[in-house]
Chain A
Amino acid sequence: MSLLEVDGVTVRFGGVTALDRVSFAVEPGEIFSIVGPNGAGKSTLFNLISRFHEPEEGDLRFAGESLLRLAAAEIGGLGIARTFQNIELFEHSSVLENLLVGRHTRRRVSIPEQILFTPATRREEIAHRAAVERVIDFLDLQLYRDRTIAGLPYGVRKVVEVGRALAIEPRVLLLDEPYSRLSNEESMDMRFRIGDIRARMGVTVLMVEHDMGLVSAVSDRVMALADGRVIATGTPAAVQSHPRVIEAYLGTQAAAS
Protein backbone atom coordinates (compact mmCIF):
# COMPACT_ATOMS: atom_id res chain seq x y z
CA MET A 1 0.00 0.00 0.00
CA SER A 2 1.22 3.49 -0.79
CA LEU A 3 2.12 5.67 2.17
CA LEU A 4 0.59 8.89 0.87
CA GLU A 5 -2.03 8.96 -1.86
CA VAL A 6 -3.35 12.07 -3.52
CA ASP A 7 -6.42 11.08 -5.46
CA GLY A 8 -7.83 13.41 -8.10
CA VAL A 9 -7.81 16.62 -6.06
CA THR A 10 -8.97 19.95 -7.40
CA VAL A 11 -8.41 23.27 -5.64
CA ARG A 12 -9.79 26.59 -6.78
CA PHE A 13 -9.14 30.06 -5.40
CA GLY A 14 -11.90 32.27 -6.65
CA GLY A 15 -11.84 31.70 -10.39
CA VAL A 16 -8.29 30.34 -10.54
CA THR A 17 -7.81 26.59 -10.63
CA ALA A 18 -4.66 25.97 -8.61
CA LEU A 19 -4.80 22.19 -8.89
CA ASP A 20 -6.76 20.28 -11.47
CA ARG A 21 -7.52 16.61 -10.68
CA VAL A 22 -4.00 15.88 -9.48
CA SER A 23 -3.24 12.27 -8.52
CA PHE A 24 -0.09 10.55 -7.35
CA ALA A 25 1.08 8.11 -4.71
CA VAL A 26 4.23 8.11 -2.64
CA GLU A 27 5.61 4.66 -1.75
CA PRO A 28 7.18 4.02 1.67
CA GLY A 29 10.92 4.73 1.72
CA GLU A 30 11.17 6.65 -1.52
CA ILE A 31 12.25 10.16 -2.31
CA PHE A 32 9.55 11.69 -4.45
CA SER A 33 9.95 15.14 -5.98
CA ILE A 34 7.39 17.46 -7.45
CA VAL A 35 8.84 19.94 -9.93
CA GLY A 36 7.29 22.69 -11.93
CA PRO A 37 7.62 26.37 -12.74
CA ASN A 38 6.47 29.04 -10.30
CA GLY A 39 2.72 29.06 -9.94
CA ALA A 40 2.35 25.45 -10.99
CA GLY A 41 0.56 24.62 -7.74
CA LYS A 42 3.36 22.86 -5.88
CA SER A 43 3.03 24.72 -2.62
CA THR A 44 -0.74 24.50 -2.83
CA LEU A 45 -0.33 20.75 -2.89
CA PHE A 46 1.67 20.84 0.34
CA ASN A 47 -0.80 23.19 1.97
CA LEU A 48 -3.50 20.75 0.98
CA ILE A 49 -1.72 17.88 2.71
CA SER A 50 -1.18 20.15 5.74
CA ARG A 51 -4.94 20.76 5.66
CA PHE A 52 -4.54 24.53 5.28
CA HIS A 53 -6.67 24.36 2.13
CA GLU A 54 -9.82 22.39 1.43
CA PRO A 55 -9.99 20.49 -1.88
CA GLU A 56 -13.04 20.96 -4.02
CA GLU A 57 -12.99 17.34 -5.05
CA GLY A 58 -10.78 14.29 -4.58
CA ASP A 59 -9.28 12.61 -1.53
CA LEU A 60 -6.01 12.54 0.39
CA ARG A 61 -5.01 9.33 2.14
CA PHE A 62 -2.17 8.63 4.51
CA ALA A 63 -1.52 4.92 5.16
CA GLY A 64 -4.99 4.25 3.81
CA GLU A 65 -6.79 6.74 6.08
CA SER A 66 -8.40 9.87 4.62
CA LEU A 67 -6.85 13.11 5.83
CA LEU A 68 -9.95 15.12 5.01
CA ARG A 69 -11.59 14.29 8.32
CA LEU A 70 -8.66 15.77 10.26
CA ALA A 71 -7.81 19.32 11.27
CA ALA A 72 -4.50 20.99 10.44
CA ALA A 73 -3.15 20.47 13.96
CA GLU A 74 -3.78 16.70 13.76
CA ILE A 75 -1.61 16.11 10.71
CA GLY A 76 1.71 16.33 12.53
CA GLY A 77 0.63 13.70 15.03
CA LEU A 78 0.12 11.18 12.20
CA GLY A 79 3.79 11.48 11.29
CA ILE A 80 3.60 14.01 8.48
CA ALA A 81 6.13 16.79 9.05
CA ARG A 82 6.92 19.71 6.79
CA THR A 83 9.04 22.76 6.11
CA PHE A 84 7.93 26.01 4.50
CA GLN A 85 9.03 27.80 1.37
CA ASN A 86 9.70 31.08 3.20
CA ILE A 87 10.85 29.51 6.49
CA GLU A 88 8.33 29.76 9.28
CA LEU A 89 10.46 29.32 12.38
CA PHE A 90 9.69 30.72 15.81
CA GLU A 91 11.91 33.78 15.40
CA HIS A 92 12.40 34.76 19.01
CA SER A 93 13.17 31.31 20.39
CA SER A 94 16.44 29.41 20.42
CA VAL A 95 17.21 26.58 18.02
CA LEU A 96 16.72 24.14 20.88
CA GLU A 97 13.27 25.52 21.71
CA ASN A 98 12.26 25.41 18.06
CA LEU A 99 13.20 21.76 17.82
CA LEU A 100 11.40 21.02 21.09
CA VAL A 101 8.16 22.36 19.59
CA GLY A 102 8.59 19.53 17.11
CA ARG A 103 8.10 17.19 20.08
CA HIS A 104 4.71 18.71 20.82
CA THR A 105 2.70 15.79 19.50
CA ARG A 106 4.74 13.40 21.66
CA ARG A 107 3.84 15.04 24.96
CA ARG A 108 1.96 12.84 27.41
CA VAL A 109 1.81 14.75 30.70
CA SER A 110 -1.33 16.76 31.46
CA ILE A 111 -1.38 20.53 31.82
CA PRO A 112 -1.69 20.58 35.64
CA GLU A 113 1.32 18.26 35.76
CA GLN A 114 3.22 20.69 33.56
CA ILE A 115 2.33 23.68 35.74
CA LEU A 116 3.45 21.78 38.85
CA PHE A 117 6.45 20.32 37.02
CA THR A 118 5.95 16.88 38.52
CA PRO A 119 8.68 14.19 38.33
CA ALA A 120 6.82 12.65 35.38
CA THR A 121 7.08 15.98 33.55
CA ARG A 122 10.78 16.16 34.33
CA ARG A 123 11.36 12.65 32.97
CA GLU A 124 9.44 13.45 29.83
CA GLU A 125 11.27 16.73 29.30
CA ILE A 126 14.61 14.95 29.59
CA ALA A 127 13.46 12.35 27.07
CA HIS A 128 12.40 15.12 24.65
CA ARG A 129 15.71 16.85 25.18
CA ALA A 130 17.58 13.63 24.35
CA ALA A 131 15.49 13.09 21.22
CA VAL A 132 16.15 16.62 20.06
CA GLU A 133 19.85 16.20 20.73
CA ARG A 134 19.88 13.25 18.32
CA VAL A 135 18.47 15.55 15.62
CA ILE A 136 21.04 18.21 16.49
CA ASP A 137 23.79 15.62 16.12
CA PHE A 138 22.38 14.36 12.88
CA LEU A 139 22.24 17.82 11.30
CA ASP A 140 25.43 19.17 12.93
CA LEU A 141 23.61 22.01 14.66
CA GLN A 142 25.62 21.83 17.93
CA LEU A 143 27.17 25.24 17.31
CA TYR A 144 23.79 26.96 17.15
CA ARG A 145 21.96 25.07 19.91
CA ASP A 146 21.28 28.07 22.17
CA ARG A 147 21.25 30.76 19.51
CA THR A 148 18.11 32.74 18.75
CA ILE A 149 16.70 32.17 15.26
CA ALA A 150 16.47 35.89 14.47
CA GLY A 151 20.27 36.16 14.40
CA LEU A 152 21.03 33.07 12.29
CA PRO A 153 22.14 33.01 8.65
CA TYR A 154 19.58 31.91 6.09
CA GLY A 155 21.24 28.58 5.31
CA VAL A 156 21.30 27.58 8.98
CA ARG A 157 17.66 28.48 9.43
CA LYS A 158 16.81 26.22 6.56
CA VAL A 159 18.56 23.32 8.29
CA VAL A 160 16.90 24.18 11.61
CA GLU A 161 13.51 23.98 9.93
CA VAL A 162 14.34 20.52 8.62
CA GLY A 163 15.46 19.64 12.14
CA ARG A 164 12.22 20.84 13.66
CA ALA A 165 10.30 18.65 11.23
CA LEU A 166 12.54 15.67 12.03
CA ALA A 167 11.93 16.17 15.76
CA ILE A 168 8.36 15.03 15.13
CA GLU A 169 9.89 11.65 14.22
CA PRO A 170 7.87 11.68 11.03
CA ARG A 171 7.10 8.85 8.65
CA VAL A 172 7.00 11.24 5.74
CA LEU A 173 8.81 14.53 5.47
CA LEU A 174 7.51 17.28 3.19
CA LEU A 175 10.22 19.69 2.08
CA ASP A 176 9.00 22.89 0.41
CA GLU A 177 11.81 24.18 -1.84
CA PRO A 178 14.67 22.96 0.36
CA TYR A 179 17.30 24.39 -2.00
CA SER A 180 15.86 27.82 -2.66
CA ARG A 181 18.22 30.73 -1.93
CA LEU A 182 21.00 28.43 -0.76
CA SER A 183 24.62 28.80 -1.87
CA ASN A 184 26.24 26.03 -3.90
CA GLU A 185 27.92 24.47 -0.88
CA GLU A 186 24.77 24.71 1.22
CA SER A 187 22.81 23.06 -1.60
CA MET A 188 25.34 20.27 -1.69
CA ASP A 189 25.04 19.76 2.07
CA MET A 190 21.28 19.78 1.83
CA ARG A 191 21.42 17.13 -0.89
CA PHE A 192 23.48 14.77 1.26
CA ARG A 193 21.24 15.41 4.25
CA ILE A 194 18.11 14.52 2.30
CA GLY A 195 19.77 11.30 1.22
CA ASP A 196 20.78 10.60 4.83
CA ILE A 197 17.31 11.28 6.18
CA ARG A 198 16.01 8.44 4.09
CA ALA A 199 19.01 6.15 4.51
CA ARG A 200 19.61 6.53 8.25
CA MET A 201 16.19 7.49 9.59
CA GLY A 202 14.05 5.54 7.17
CA VAL A 203 11.88 8.59 6.50
CA THR A 204 9.99 8.89 3.23
CA VAL A 205 10.68 12.27 1.60
CA LEU A 206 8.30 14.25 -0.56
CA MET A 207 9.76 17.48 -1.86
CA VAL A 208 8.80 20.39 -4.01
CA GLU A 209 11.37 22.23 -6.07
CA HIS A 210 11.37 24.32 -9.19
CA ASP A 211 14.93 23.46 -10.20
CA MET A 212 14.82 20.03 -11.84
CA GLY A 213 18.61 19.62 -11.88
CA LEU A 214 18.84 19.80 -8.11
CA VAL A 215 16.29 17.10 -7.38
CA SER A 216 17.14 14.56 -10.04
CA ALA A 217 20.29 13.43 -8.24
CA VAL A 218 18.50 12.33 -5.05
CA SER A 219 15.01 11.49 -6.22
CA ASP A 220 13.68 8.05 -7.01
CA ARG A 221 10.71 9.46 -8.86
CA VAL A 222 9.76 12.89 -10.11
CA MET A 223 6.39 14.37 -10.97
CA ALA A 224 6.15 17.47 -13.14
CA LEU A 225 3.32 19.94 -12.61
CA ALA A 226 2.33 22.84 -14.83
CA ASP A 227 -0.68 25.11 -14.37
CA GLY A 228 -2.11 22.80 -11.74
CA ARG A 229 -2.00 19.69 -13.93
CA VAL A 230 0.29 16.66 -13.79
CA ILE A 231 2.20 16.49 -17.05
CA ALA A 232 4.59 13.62 -16.35
CA THR A 233 5.55 11.16 -13.62
CA GLY A 234 8.49 8.77 -13.64
CA THR A 235 12.24 8.48 -13.14
CA PRO A 236 14.14 11.78 -13.13
CA ALA A 237 15.69 11.02 -16.53
CA ALA A 238 12.35 10.15 -18.13
CA VAL A 239 10.61 13.26 -16.80
CA GLN A 240 13.50 15.51 -17.73
CA SER A 241 13.37 14.42 -21.36
CA HIS A 242 9.57 14.44 -21.58
CA PRO A 243 8.62 16.88 -24.37
CA ARG A 244 5.78 18.49 -22.47
CA VAL A 245 8.07 19.11 -19.49
CA ILE A 246 10.59 20.84 -21.71
CA GLU A 247 7.78 22.85 -23.16
CA ALA A 248 6.53 23.92 -19.74
CA TYR A 249 9.99 24.94 -18.65
CA LEU A 250 11.37 26.53 -21.78
CA GLY A 251 8.30 27.52 -23.73
CA THR A 252 6.93 26.13 -26.96
CA GLN A 253 9.73 27.25 -29.22
CA ALA A 254 12.34 25.18 -27.43
CA ALA A 255 10.14 22.12 -27.65
CA ALA A 256 9.64 22.64 -31.38
CA SER A 257 13.29 23.15 -32.26
Chain B
Amino acid sequence: MESGTLETLQLIVSGLANGCVYGLIALGFALIYKAAEQVNFAQGDLMMFGAFVALGLANESHMGLPFWVACIGAIAVMAALGWLLERAVLRQVFGQPQIAVVILTIAIGFLLRFVAGIIWGHDPLTLESPIAGVNQHFGTLVLGLDELAVIAVTLALTGLLFGFFSRTRLGIAMQASSQNQLAAYYMGIPVKRIHGLTWALAGAIAAVAGILFASKGSIDPNTGLLGIKAFAAAVIGGFGSLPGALAGGLIVGLIEPFAARYVASGYSQIAPYAMLILVLLIRPRGLFAQVHAKKV
Protein backbone atom coordinates (compact mmCIF):
# COMPACT_ATOMS: atom_id res chain seq x y z
CA MET B 1 0.00 0.00 0.00
CA GLU B 2 1.12 3.53 -0.71
CA SER B 3 2.27 5.50 2.32
CA GLY B 4 -0.20 8.32 1.63
CA THR B 5 -3.27 6.11 1.73
CA LEU B 6 -1.80 4.21 4.65
CA GLU B 7 -1.45 7.41 6.60
CA THR B 8 -4.96 8.46 5.71
CA LEU B 9 -6.25 5.08 6.81
CA GLN B 10 -4.47 5.32 10.12
CA LEU B 11 -5.81 8.86 10.60
CA ILE B 12 -9.29 7.55 9.92
CA VAL B 13 -8.97 4.72 12.44
CA SER B 14 -7.55 6.91 15.19
CA GLY B 15 -10.20 9.50 14.37
CA LEU B 16 -12.90 6.85 14.55
CA ALA B 17 -11.56 5.59 17.87
CA ASN B 18 -11.54 9.10 19.31
CA GLY B 19 -14.92 9.67 17.77
CA CYS B 20 -16.24 6.54 19.45
CA VAL B 21 -15.24 7.88 22.85
CA TYR B 22 -17.00 11.14 22.05
CA GLY B 23 -19.85 9.05 20.74
CA LEU B 24 -20.06 7.07 23.98
CA ILE B 25 -20.22 10.26 26.05
CA ALA B 26 -22.72 11.69 23.58
CA LEU B 27 -24.70 8.47 23.96
CA GLY B 28 -24.95 9.20 27.67
CA PHE B 29 -26.28 12.70 26.91
CA ALA B 30 -28.73 11.37 24.37
CA LEU B 31 -29.90 8.62 26.68
CA ILE B 32 -30.75 10.97 29.53
CA TYR B 33 -32.28 13.45 27.14
CA LYS B 34 -34.39 10.80 25.48
CA ALA B 35 -35.67 9.29 28.71
CA ALA B 36 -35.83 12.22 31.10
CA GLU B 37 -35.49 15.25 28.82
CA GLN B 38 -32.69 16.43 31.08
CA VAL B 39 -29.49 17.77 29.63
CA ASN B 40 -26.56 16.30 31.50
CA PHE B 41 -23.50 18.51 31.15
CA ALA B 42 -21.69 16.33 33.70
CA GLN B 43 -21.51 13.29 31.41
CA GLY B 44 -17.89 14.04 30.46
CA ASP B 45 -16.96 14.36 34.09
CA LEU B 46 -18.79 11.13 34.88
CA MET B 47 -16.61 9.49 32.24
CA MET B 48 -13.49 10.95 33.84
CA PHE B 49 -14.67 9.77 37.24
CA GLY B 50 -15.44 6.30 35.89
CA ALA B 51 -11.96 6.08 34.41
CA PHE B 52 -10.45 7.03 37.76
CA VAL B 53 -12.56 4.50 39.64
CA ALA B 54 -11.42 1.76 37.25
CA LEU B 55 -7.86 2.98 37.62
CA GLY B 56 -8.14 3.04 41.38
CA LEU B 57 -9.39 -0.55 41.36
CA ALA B 58 -7.04 -1.98 38.74
CA ASN B 59 -3.67 -0.28 39.04
CA GLU B 60 -0.92 -1.94 41.05
CA SER B 61 -0.24 1.25 42.97
CA HIS B 62 -3.84 1.35 44.19
CA MET B 63 -6.03 -1.73 44.78
CA GLY B 64 -4.44 -3.97 42.17
CA LEU B 65 -7.55 -6.01 41.34
CA PRO B 66 -7.66 -8.05 38.13
CA PHE B 67 -8.55 -5.83 35.16
CA TRP B 68 -11.93 -7.37 34.34
CA VAL B 69 -13.03 -7.32 37.97
CA ALA B 70 -12.03 -3.68 38.13
CA CYS B 71 -14.08 -2.98 35.00
CA ILE B 72 -17.19 -4.55 36.44
CA GLY B 73 -16.57 -2.80 39.73
CA ALA B 74 -16.17 0.58 38.04
CA ILE B 75 -19.36 0.07 36.03
CA ALA B 76 -21.26 -0.86 39.19
CA VAL B 77 -19.86 2.08 41.15
CA MET B 78 -20.70 4.54 38.38
CA ALA B 79 -24.20 3.15 37.93
CA ALA B 80 -24.73 3.60 41.66
CA LEU B 81 -23.32 7.13 41.48
CA GLY B 82 -25.63 8.00 38.58
CA TRP B 83 -28.63 6.64 40.44
CA LEU B 84 -27.62 8.51 43.59
CA LEU B 85 -27.17 11.79 41.72
CA GLU B 86 -30.64 11.52 40.28
CA ARG B 87 -32.12 10.53 43.60
CA ALA B 88 -30.43 13.18 45.72
CA VAL B 89 -30.09 16.13 43.37
CA LEU B 90 -31.90 15.98 40.06
CA ARG B 91 -35.15 14.72 41.47
CA GLN B 92 -35.41 17.98 43.40
CA VAL B 93 -35.59 20.01 40.23
CA PHE B 94 -38.14 17.68 38.68
CA GLY B 95 -40.36 19.71 36.37
CA GLN B 96 -38.25 22.84 36.38
CA PRO B 97 -37.01 24.33 33.12
CA GLN B 98 -34.23 22.54 31.28
CA ILE B 99 -31.80 25.33 31.90
CA ALA B 100 -31.97 24.73 35.67
CA VAL B 101 -30.84 21.17 35.01
CA VAL B 102 -28.09 22.43 32.71
CA ILE B 103 -26.66 24.70 35.39
CA LEU B 104 -27.07 22.04 38.03
CA THR B 105 -25.23 19.38 36.03
CA ILE B 106 -22.47 21.83 35.15
CA ALA B 107 -21.99 22.35 38.87
CA ILE B 108 -22.03 18.59 39.50
CA GLY B 109 -19.35 18.23 36.83
CA PHE B 110 -17.14 20.80 38.55
CA LEU B 111 -17.62 19.05 41.87
CA LEU B 112 -16.71 15.65 40.38
CA ARG B 113 -13.55 17.20 38.96
CA PHE B 114 -12.77 18.71 42.36
CA VAL B 115 -13.32 15.43 44.20
CA ALA B 116 -11.29 13.46 41.66
CA GLY B 117 -8.47 15.97 42.10
CA ILE B 118 -8.49 15.46 45.85
CA ILE B 119 -8.56 11.65 45.65
CA TRP B 120 -6.27 10.95 42.69
CA GLY B 121 -4.32 14.20 42.34
CA HIS B 122 -3.90 16.39 39.30
CA ASP B 123 -1.05 14.59 37.54
CA PRO B 124 -1.88 12.50 34.46
CA LEU B 125 -2.23 8.78 35.22
CA THR B 126 -2.57 5.77 32.94
CA LEU B 127 -4.80 2.77 33.38
CA GLU B 128 -2.91 -0.55 33.39
CA SER B 129 -5.07 -2.23 30.80
CA PRO B 130 -4.33 -5.44 28.87
CA ILE B 131 -5.44 -3.82 25.61
CA ALA B 132 -3.22 -0.76 25.95
CA GLY B 133 -0.26 -0.58 23.62
CA VAL B 134 -0.96 -3.88 21.82
CA ASN B 135 -0.80 -3.58 18.07
CA GLN B 136 -2.69 -5.56 15.53
CA HIS B 137 -1.04 -6.00 12.13
CA PHE B 138 -3.06 -6.11 8.94
CA GLY B 139 -0.41 -6.44 6.26
CA THR B 140 1.49 -3.17 6.40
CA LEU B 141 -1.30 -1.48 8.33
CA VAL B 142 -0.72 -1.30 12.07
CA LEU B 143 -3.70 -0.62 14.29
CA GLY B 144 -3.85 -0.41 18.06
CA LEU B 145 -5.93 -3.08 19.77
CA ASP B 146 -7.19 -0.35 22.10
CA GLU B 147 -8.55 1.61 19.17
CA LEU B 148 -10.24 -1.43 17.67
CA ALA B 149 -11.74 -2.34 21.06
CA VAL B 150 -13.17 1.17 21.43
CA ILE B 151 -14.83 0.97 18.04
CA ALA B 152 -16.26 -2.50 18.64
CA VAL B 153 -17.60 -1.78 22.11
CA THR B 154 -19.16 1.49 21.02
CA LEU B 155 -20.96 -0.06 18.08
CA ALA B 156 -22.26 -2.89 20.26
CA LEU B 157 -23.50 -0.53 22.98
CA THR B 158 -25.23 1.78 20.53
CA GLY B 159 -26.98 -1.14 18.89
CA LEU B 160 -28.06 -2.51 22.24
CA LEU B 161 -29.47 0.80 23.44
CA PHE B 162 -31.18 1.47 20.14
CA GLY B 163 -32.87 -1.91 20.34
CA PHE B 164 -33.79 -1.27 23.94
CA PHE B 165 -35.56 2.01 23.12
CA SER B 166 -37.39 0.82 20.05
CA ARG B 167 -38.24 -2.75 21.08
CA THR B 168 -38.77 -3.11 24.83
CA ARG B 169 -41.71 -1.88 26.88
CA LEU B 170 -39.43 -0.17 29.36
CA GLY B 171 -37.61 1.69 26.61
CA ILE B 172 -40.85 2.95 25.13
CA ALA B 173 -42.11 3.93 28.58
CA MET B 174 -38.88 5.88 29.07
CA GLN B 175 -39.46 7.84 25.90
CA ALA B 176 -43.06 8.52 26.80
CA SER B 177 -42.16 9.82 30.23
CA SER B 178 -39.82 12.38 28.72
CA GLN B 179 -42.37 13.79 26.34
CA ASN B 180 -45.11 14.45 28.82
CA GLN B 181 -44.45 13.62 32.43
CA LEU B 182 -47.97 14.24 33.62
CA ALA B 183 -49.55 12.14 30.90
CA ALA B 184 -47.01 9.40 31.55
CA TYR B 185 -48.05 9.43 35.20
CA TYR B 186 -51.66 9.06 34.20
CA MET B 187 -50.73 6.09 32.08
CA GLY B 188 -49.21 4.42 35.11
CA ILE B 189 -45.58 4.82 34.15
CA PRO B 190 -43.39 5.20 37.27
CA VAL B 191 -41.67 8.31 35.93
CA LYS B 192 -39.37 8.89 38.88
CA ARG B 193 -38.13 5.34 39.03
CA ILE B 194 -37.48 5.46 35.31
CA HIS B 195 -35.41 8.60 35.72
CA GLY B 196 -33.30 6.89 38.39
CA LEU B 197 -32.78 3.94 36.11
CA THR B 198 -31.79 6.17 33.23
CA TRP B 199 -29.14 7.92 35.27
CA ALA B 200 -27.78 4.60 36.49
CA LEU B 201 -27.53 3.47 32.89
CA ALA B 202 -25.82 6.73 31.90
CA GLY B 203 -23.37 6.24 34.76
CA ALA B 204 -22.57 2.73 33.55
CA ILE B 205 -22.01 3.96 29.99
CA ALA B 206 -19.77 6.70 31.35
CA ALA B 207 -17.70 4.03 33.12
CA VAL B 208 -17.31 2.05 29.90
CA ALA B 209 -16.33 5.20 28.02
CA GLY B 210 -13.89 6.06 30.79
CA ILE B 211 -12.23 2.65 30.76
CA LEU B 212 -11.87 2.74 26.97
CA PHE B 213 -10.54 6.29 27.03
CA ALA B 214 -8.05 5.54 29.79
CA SER B 215 -6.82 2.51 27.84
CA LYS B 216 -5.90 4.82 24.96
CA GLY B 217 -3.99 7.41 26.94
CA SER B 218 -3.54 9.18 30.23
CA ILE B 219 -6.25 10.86 32.27
CA ASP B 220 -6.37 13.69 34.77
CA PRO B 221 -9.36 15.46 36.39
CA ASN B 222 -9.59 17.95 33.53
CA THR B 223 -10.20 15.11 31.08
CA GLY B 224 -13.85 15.71 31.95
CA LEU B 225 -13.74 18.87 29.84
CA LEU B 226 -13.76 16.49 26.90
CA GLY B 227 -17.44 16.32 27.69
CA ILE B 228 -17.93 19.72 26.09
CA LYS B 229 -16.57 18.36 22.82
CA ALA B 230 -18.73 15.27 23.14
CA PHE B 231 -21.60 17.59 23.84
CA ALA B 232 -20.93 19.36 20.57
CA ALA B 233 -21.01 15.91 19.00
CA ALA B 234 -24.36 15.10 20.55
CA VAL B 235 -25.84 18.33 19.26
CA ILE B 236 -24.39 17.88 15.79
CA GLY B 237 -26.04 14.48 15.70
CA GLY B 238 -29.24 15.73 17.21
CA PHE B 239 -30.26 15.27 20.80
CA GLY B 240 -32.43 12.39 21.69
CA SER B 241 -31.25 10.31 18.77
CA LEU B 242 -28.90 7.49 19.75
CA PRO B 243 -27.50 6.73 16.28
CA GLY B 244 -27.31 10.51 15.83
CA ALA B 245 -25.17 10.84 18.94
CA LEU B 246 -22.78 8.20 17.67
CA ALA B 247 -22.69 9.77 14.21
CA GLY B 248 -22.00 13.18 15.74
CA GLY B 249 -19.19 11.71 17.80
CA LEU B 250 -17.64 10.08 14.75
CA ILE B 251 -17.93 13.28 12.73
CA VAL B 252 -16.16 15.27 15.44
CA GLY B 253 -13.58 12.54 15.92
CA LEU B 254 -12.81 12.48 12.20
CA ILE B 255 -12.70 16.24 11.74
CA GLU B 256 -10.04 16.74 14.37
CA PRO B 257 -7.09 14.73 13.02
CA PHE B 258 -7.78 15.85 9.47
CA ALA B 259 -8.06 19.51 10.43
CA ALA B 260 -4.79 19.15 12.33
CA ARG B 261 -3.13 17.34 9.43
CA TYR B 262 -4.35 19.38 6.49
CA VAL B 263 -5.24 22.86 7.82
CA ALA B 264 -3.11 23.90 10.77
CA SER B 265 -2.74 22.47 14.24
CA GLY B 266 -4.23 25.61 15.83
CA TYR B 267 -7.44 25.00 13.93
CA SER B 268 -8.09 21.40 15.00
CA GLN B 269 -9.26 22.76 18.36
CA ILE B 270 -11.70 25.08 16.66
CA ALA B 271 -13.05 22.65 14.09
CA PRO B 272 -15.63 20.79 16.24
CA TYR B 273 -17.12 24.00 17.62
CA ALA B 274 -17.15 25.75 14.27
CA MET B 275 -18.91 22.67 12.92
CA LEU B 276 -21.36 22.79 15.83
CA ILE B 277 -22.26 26.42 15.20
CA LEU B 278 -22.61 25.70 11.49
CA VAL B 279 -24.95 22.77 12.11
CA LEU B 280 -27.03 24.78 14.57
CA LEU B 281 -27.41 27.57 12.06
CA ILE B 282 -28.45 25.31 9.21
CA ARG B 283 -30.43 22.74 11.19
CA PRO B 284 -31.12 24.24 14.61
CA ARG B 285 -32.00 20.88 16.10
CA GLY B 286 -29.10 18.83 14.81
CA LEU B 287 -28.72 16.57 11.84
CA PHE B 288 -30.96 13.73 13.06
CA ALA B 289 -33.40 15.65 15.23
CA GLN B 290 -37.03 15.02 15.97
CA VAL B 291 -39.01 18.24 16.00
CA HIS B 292 -42.70 18.80 16.38
CA ALA B 293 -44.69 21.99 16.41
CA LYS B 294 -46.17 22.98 19.74
CA LYS B 295 -49.92 22.96 19.90
CA VAL B 296 -51.61 26.09 21.20
Contacts and interface: CB of A to CB of B under 8 A. Distances in A.
Determine whether A and B are in direct contact in the complex, meaning some CB atoms lie less than 8 angstroms apart. yes
Interface of A: 13, 43, 47, 52, 84-86, 88
A13 B295 CA distance: 12
Contacts of B293: 13
Nearest to A86: B296
Interface residues of B, number: 3
Interface in B271-296: 293, 295-296
Given A13-B293, A47-B296, 7 more contacts: A43-B295, A43-B296, A52-B296, A84-B296, A85-B296, A86-B296, A88-B296
A152 B143 CA distance: 66
Nearest to B293: A13
Nearest to B296: A84
A88 B296 CA distance: 9
Would you list the 6 A-B pairs with minimal beta carbon distance, nearest first?
A84-B296, A47-B296, A88-B296, A52-B296, A85-B296, A86-B296
Contacts of A84: 296
Contacts, number: 9
A210 to B, nearest CB: 16
Nearest to A13: B293
B294 to A, nearest CB: 10
Interface of B: 293, 295-296
A13 B293 CA distance: 10
Contacts of B295: 43
A43 B293 CA distance: 14
Nearest to B294: A52
Contacts of A85: 296
Contacts of B296: 43, 47, 52, 84-86, 88
A93 B6 CA distance: 64
A57 to B, nearest CB: 20
9 contacts: A13-B293, A43-B295, A43-B296, A47-B296, A52-B296, A84-B296, A85-B296, A86-B296, A88-B296
Nearest to A88: B296
A86 B293 CA distance: 16
A116 to B, nearest CB: 32
A200 B296 CA distance: 30
A197 B295 CA distance: 28
A166 B296 CA distance: 20
A110 B293 CA distance: 34
B95 to A, nearest CB: 13
B3 to A, nearest CB: 53
A20 B295 CA distance: 19
A181 to B, nearest CB: 15
A86 B296 CA distance: 7
Contacts of A52: 296
Contacts of A47: 296
A233 B296 CA distance: 25
Nearest to A50: B296
A88 B294 CA distance: 13
A178 to B, nearest CB: 15
A62 B215 CA distance: 69
A88 B293 CA distance: 16
Nearest to B295: A43
B296 to A, nearest CB: 6
A85 B294 CA distance: 13
A208 B14 CA distance: 61
A84 B295 CA distance: 11
B113 to A, nearest CB: 34
A47 B293 CA distance: 12
B48 to A, nearest CB: 37
Contacts of A88: 296
B56 to A, nearest CB: 46
Nearest to A53: B293
A88 B295 CA distance: 12
B295 to A, nearest CB: 8
Contacts of A13: 293
B97 to A, nearest CB: 11
Nearest to A47: B296
A52 B295 CA distance: 10
A52 B296 CA distance: 10
A180 to B, nearest CB: 14
A61 B295 CA distance: 24
B180 to A, nearest CB: 13
Nearest to A176: B296
A155 to B, nearest CB: 20
B176 to A, nearest CB: 20
A86 B295 CA distance: 10
A201 B296 CA distance: 27
A83 B296 CA distance: 10
A113 B295 CA distance: 37
Nearest to A52: B296
A98 to B, nearest CB: 17
B182 to A, nearest CB: 13
B224 to A, nearest CB: 34
Contacts of A43: 295-296
A84 B296 CA distance: 7
A172 B295 CA distance: 23
